[in-house]
Structure 1
């Protein structure tokens, strides 16, 4: 009361008419009343209130200044208030006063300047204890900070909208959601809503008003961003009331569900694609429960198994007697393998169709774990025609193997049968040339030499055919022994030196003195002789042949390089095949074109039996060739 009375009077005209009334009022109020002199020292206080509130006696206050009892941190605020009072004649401020027991009390002080009866300037201070108010304010601030922290850190945006659709409040999340710097409090909320969603949003709010409670339903709608794109949000809403309990708007939460919506859309598209694949797949797709009851199947399954699908839905596939007991065991094993965590391979099953005919399928399964139970999906690929084709191929292979055996037997038998009379012809011609050559006319000698040469070629051909027969029947045995490979190479070169002279060819040897290797001497000589003979035949006169042998790591490398007519890529693909002779008729290359096409094939087989490898290199026609062999030392 005293504070209000003092506030209602102009202290510039302050005067006291009744001393007793004044003292009665001053000593019985709870507010601190003080008068300061022109030195800003206390010259009067209502001592009862000072004692009750601050614990000081009158003599502890009089003559001292307010700053002697003020909190150091409040001095700037006090000085600013005094300055303001000097300008306006009055001021109000809050500061802390120290209690006698050395703790501080928050006070609200109002001050006025006035003149006393003698014309001296005085200052009147009226202060009241505001500790409880400060506690209430601090609690309110903490509460506000708490709720603001919750609102500003939740992922959902919170908005308050009036009944006209104007935004009264929008949490920072809405700005982030819409990529706006700041949402204006006067913005129209419906401005951001997709036009196709406005009507359902209005109905949603009408429902909220009608039920006067938070709706259990979530409304999903689209809201526009700064970039004019739309995002999906899910919203809940409750009514917003004024102090009289009247509905003045809505409090709504907005949660960004765009990712979920996109995922749902992709899932929907995926389901549509799967449904399309399921219905149009050429494979039979069947969905069963864990007990084997058929839940669903596509048309292809009906066609493959020979059943009308509606007639088998709800039946256990075992009761249809599609599979034999042995086939059922295979399916069960596949199922158990899948349950153990291993993805099993497809299995082939023979089945009895609904019309009694048999068919073959490739059977694959997968397990689908739903929320309620376990489902089994099986995929059946009809391989009946493939099985028939396989059977035909197997039968034809058997026939071909029989024909091949007949061919090999025939070649072996004919070769053996030809070998004996051919030896007689070849041997007789050789004797005639060696013993009776001087007693025969030149015409006769010419014919005998032709017989001898042809017999020699036929004899070599028959030996090769017999070797091939031994290799293909697995009867060729190697007689392995430690040999000096360098010595073998020199012997082979010596045996063919007459051909080198006839063809006027230069030969160079780069060989170590000793290269010990465990080989079949006769077979390796056969390979080296064949390679050197080919180099001589395919190199024009005055050409060069280089033979080298060197050791590297665990192998010996042998090569024959010639400056002959070279090889194309197509030529090299044929070389090591049976009868892989390269025809060069009419090319006028001045080389020997005779040969059976068996020599390199036999050479490769012999090197393979020794655990080595043979290959050829050439940069092309007329650029020479290099035949190489790698012998494994071990």
Structure 2
């Protein structure tokens, strides 16, 4: 009626009526709007070609180029179109009025349209219903065209009515002609929703991992190989060392605190290797740390970081060293009480890094009070009551009402300190000691002098208490030996006291061991699934160490049975030469560390009846103890 044409899509279907008459069904679908969009699309394509042809450089190039080159360019253009359609990015381009000139299928599908032609020739006002987003997008695009500058990797969040959320990495590039005039804008989006969710999960995982590390009972140190400095420390390691993080994070700061004799342990260490070393804490004392090393490599298998998982084993080392020292002392004990006490005093002084140790015993002879003093410097002195009260600072320990060790500083009694010959001799600043109970009486003391005021650790208390017990046992052993007339009876009493010492030490070691072993087994048996790999491996190492210590204690208990003739031997015919060679091989490592040599010359086969386990213990001690007691480098 108005002279306009309409486009219809016609479908034809033949039908047969009940009377067998042939009929035709015609279905008309109005496609006028679709045709209108197609015309617009062709017009835009023509405009685009006219624009290309209007650029002098391209027109001149076409005049000089043969048809083959033009064909290659067209082929390249079609390949570009194919790439745009196949890449996963969302791509669209607009003219200066923000009207869509084109887009790829991914972009059309993202906006909820099936075909690209549904987008071309329209603006965001007709395509994007969210007004705030539409305004924000148009402002960004206008800004790019006005400034002529490119915007890369802007992270944008799109929310949809169905509850979906998409994270997009947006790029906006101004489209310029040969005269550098902006003609439009190219927009590309990369869907990074999955990447974003993965990143969030990774951050949550890292947060949980960091929380685990921060609350871990293990000290953790991360060392950057390239920077040659510590880059991470958890609170536990800082509390162990009582140091500020900045002191450890300076270049080579961590390694500067390690004991010089332990530095060689860090060279060429294999991954997950166990290591024990000493490190200086804030108080100027070396503490023992033990743990595993984990090496971290980059994608080309180059070592970039080393992570240490560490725990404090200072107390255990003190036990081991004290046990070794006491064992060595008791093996070297003689009938001379004074010399034996001096050996114990030297061991105590050595373990505490002290400068002088005294054992003072109060005795009454003929109604008069005397004080007998044994020093770690092989002195034996006797003072009367008046001299002792006027000149000896250590008398303060006799005034204590407790048996626990205490530290007293020189400045507590300056006048008495000036008269004390022991303080003046080494210019001591402090004394650490305790009373020793003897038959329910507090009539002797053990004290150690220090040139500098020490930082008293828990290990100091253990050393002083066990040394005091050893001194008291040795004093009693001496008194028993002195009072006995019959040599056999005297020897039996001495052995009894030695057995008591072994039992006492075994008890002291076994009591904490039961708790350590019990809780370790509890964690591994009932909570292993809740722990990560590294904590489980640490618990297993604790379990192994506890089992080894349990074997050692059992051996000490077994040795005490020797005195009571309760040992049963399992004798079998074995090759004694093989057992001796096996024992020597086991001790060569210790000998090499002390630069010592072990020479062995025995027949190849010596078969006899013996208890293999017992004889091995005898051989191990017979060869092993001289390695400790003899000077280094001695054969």
TM norm structure 2: 0.37
TM norm structure 1: 0.37
Bigger fraction of residues in helix: 2
